[in-house]
Amino acid sequence: MGLYEKPYKNSLKIETKKYTRSLMREEITTMGVKKIGFIGTGVMGKSMASHLLKGGYDLYIYTRTKEKAVELLDAGAIWCETAADVARHSEAIITIVGYPSDVEEIYLGQEGLLNHAKPGTYFVDMTTSSPSLAANIAEQAKERGMFSLDAPVSGGDVGAKNATLTIMVGGEAEAFQEMKPILQLLGQNIVLQGQAGAGQHTKMCNQIAIATNMIGVCEALIYAKKAGLDPENVLASISAGAAGSWSLSNLAPRIIKGNFEPGFYVKHFIKDMKIALDEAERMNLDVPGLSLAKQLYETIAESGEENSGTQALYKLWNNE
């Protein structure tokens, strides 16, 4: 009997875990918000929206190119023809689009979310955008009896697929607590950084750190190549030491394999660095490393790599 006791206990444990997760998911979807709008189903947005569907929410989606949403529609999402239609149907709306100008149009335009959503609606903008725009949206939402959080993310396509994103949030604590169960379906490291705009400022810190780190990653790999080293062996050593970083562990292997597909677009990274430089200038802060990184990325974008992943910076040193 003892021979079979351990497998039986293990299988019971697994089933208990599955049952617990099921109860937790059911509890989340029966509290408060049940209808979620989602705008922007690009490289990251599509994966993020799929987690909400799996979480049991009614999902109303809109994106400029409907073809990008086909998989979500097949999985049960409901298509809306405009952002205004999303607003009319939803109790909470998540957006993750390209540029601050897109955010401004979607939220503040004549056919935007604020003009068509119901009082009590929650907005969560996960685009990397301007802190001042985030504060403006939050103020206008509050005037209409609505709630707005700026919640940019870090973790790229891998984090979006695995629901392990880092989410940096700005806004009122009560709104954050209401939206946190939803955010927990998308990420793991979720921190309220302060009032409206604080999430975007935190994301600028993130992008500043990544910008110069990407230069170091690319220079290290090209140095290894010129020295006649095996880059995979080099990576095995340095990624486990003091040089270790997310970019070194996740993007360097793609560089070695010649994979420059976007987990995060060069063009969007340039946009982020410009926002950070503008904010730094307002604070009379000199950021020479960030300025250099932006110049290098603009060079690679001008050579036709604007739609490649940020690891394409490596091509500045290696044109083979």
Active-site positions? Answer: 203
Residue 53, SS3 per DSSP: helix
Cα 225 from Cα 294, distance rounded (Å)? 25
Q: Quick one: tokens of 235?
A: 């990576």
Cα 207 from Cα 200, distance rounded (Å)? 10
Closest among 146, 151, 157, 54 to 96, alpha carbons compared: 151
Beta strand segments in 78-182, E: 78-79, 92-95, 122-125, 147-150, 153-154, 165-170
Cα 220 from Cα 11, distance rounded (Å)? 47
Measured from the Cβ of residue 159, the count of other Cβ atoms closer than 10 Å reads 24
253 CB burial (10 A radius; 0-12, 13-18, 19+): middle
Closest among 284, 279, 285, 273 to 135, alpha carbons compared: 279
Residue 61: in which H helix or E strand, if any? strand 58-62
What residues pair up with 148 in beta bridges, in sequence order?
Answer: 123
